[in-house]
């Protein structure tokens, strides 16, 4: 079995998270203040349950060890949950600015060939335009990307256990 730096990094990050959850289970892990100044918080144990369900959703969408997951989310708890979940699976999270243009998204897709992408509902149309553009520019793997759209009406305070909408890129 070939060991890559990315695989080692994923395993190390996931292992470190698991160790920290055990050591600090009931301590506060994350406090998030929304744009409306509403506070939400999670203990390590509570957030780890979210990471578990996020990992299950990613695997259900086709993420496997070695896969790339394209994450186009603003700074919010869901961003952290996806990053930890991808590491737990052994996948690589590839981050992009949620303000990226369709041209930029297409370029990312061509370079990274993600199995799954996560984006917010506010930029879903731009993301899907980027998928189409990548496909039109001969990135045939773009048609296989499962695009998971997370609703942003909650301003990122509560990561959803499962994506709200799923768009196979080829429809």
For the chain, the average pLDDT equals: 83
pLDDT at 8: 55
pLDDT for residue 120 is more than 80: yes
With a CB cutoff of 8 Å and minimum separation 6, the contacts of 105 are 72, 96, 126, 127, 129, 130, 131, 133, 134
Mean pLDDT is highest, among 44-48, 122-126, 133-137, for 44-48
pLDDT tens, residue by residue, 54-81: 999 999 999 999 999 999 998 889 999 9
Closest CA to 161 of 75, 11, 46, 65: 46
Q: What is the pLDDT of residue 160?
A: 42
Structure-token pair, residue 32 = 């998030």
DSSP 142: G
When pLDDT is cut at 50, 70 and 90, the band that residue 157 belongs to is very low
Measured in residues, the chain has a length of 171
- Assess whether pLDDT exceeds 70 at residue 50: yes
């Amino acid at each position: 079995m070939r060991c890559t730096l990315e695989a080692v990094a994923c395993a190390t990050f996931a292992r470190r998270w698991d160790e920290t959850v055990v050591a600090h289970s009931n301590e506060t892990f994350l406090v998030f203040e929304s744009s409306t100044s509403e506070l939400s918080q999670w203990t390590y144990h509570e957030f780890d349950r979210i990471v578990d369900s996020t990992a299950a959703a990613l695997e259900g969408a086709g993420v496997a060890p070695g896969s790339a997951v394209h994450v186009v989310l603003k700074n919010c708890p869901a961003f952290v949950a996806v990053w930890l979940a991808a590491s737990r699976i052994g996948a690589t999270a590839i981050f992009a600015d949620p303000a990226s243009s369709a041209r930029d998204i297409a370029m990312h897709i061509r370079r990274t060939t993600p199995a799954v992408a996560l984006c917010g509902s506010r930029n879903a149309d731009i993301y899907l335009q980027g998928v189409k553009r990548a496909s039109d520019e001969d990135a045939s793997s773009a048609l296989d990307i499962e695009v998971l759209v997370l609703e942003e009406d909650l301003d990122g305070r509560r990561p959803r256990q499962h994506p709200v909408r799923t768009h196979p890129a080829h429809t």
